[in-house]
Amino acid sequence: SLVGCGKVGVTILYYLKEHHKIVGVYDPDQKAQQRALKTLGVGKPVPYPEFVKTSDAVFIATPDEMILNASNRIRKYLDKNVLLVHFSGWLPAEILPRARGSLRAAVHPFATFPKLVIPPPRPAYPLFVQGGRKALDRVDRIFRGKNFKVSRIGKKDKARYHLMGVMSSNFLV
């Protein structure tokens, strides 16, 4: 499932839908949510509590300052062993509250997303991932394939990798 239907989340889940079922999407912006439902082939909207309860993984693709709020809303519906992931470049997986034995990970797509282009014109997205061992094993299985190149990094390295991306991309532009 996807919470936050912007460019990053929809693009990444577009590739994941090739081998995984997308159960539901949510965004407070109804236009963004409708675009994501159509793009990801989800069909009709599924109520928020229902899609969180039936998901093996919930991806939070909100702005950094909204991650904690989104994860707190999700928390009460999580079951044991659900993978909870955010896409922040500098925030660690541990920003996500521990809930009912769920697993936490941070996945930083090392790419720019200037607009939503489906299918994205990229051979593979490099992803820097951080979190607990069980969570990262699950992330490896989810992102296995030709569309992603997964590299594990430590919690202390996240800020450095994020800064490297900002310096090499944002400042260059």
Q: What is the pTM of this model?
A: 0.90
Q: What is the mean predicted confidence (pLDDT) over 105-129?
A: 80
Position 121 scores a pLDDT of 61
Q: What is the pLDDT of residues 46-82, one digit of tens each?
A: 888 898 889 999 999 999 999 999 999 998 888 778 9
Question: Where is pLDDT greater, at 34 or 125?
Answer: 34
CB-based contacts of 163-166 (< 8 A; 24+ apart in sequence): 163/90, 165/89, 165/108, 165/110
Position 169 scores a pLDDT of 67
What would the two tokens of residue 50 be? 């229902």
Position 18 scores a pLDDT of 87
Tell me the pLDDT band of 168, cut-offs 50, 70 and 90: confident
Q: What is the mean predicted confidence (pLDDT) over 92-106?
A: 88
Residues 22 and 16: their CA atoms lie apart, in Å, by 8
Position 102 scores a pLDDT of 86
Alpha-carbon dihedral angle through residues 150, 65, 62, 72, given to the nearest 10 degrees: 100
Is residue 67 helix, strand or coil? helix
Position 43 scores a pLDDT of 86
Residue 101 phi/psi, 5-degree rounding, is 75, 15
Per the CB < 8 A criterion, the answer to whether 162 and 92 are in contact is: no
Residues, the chain: 173
* Bridge partners, residue 151, by sequence: 128
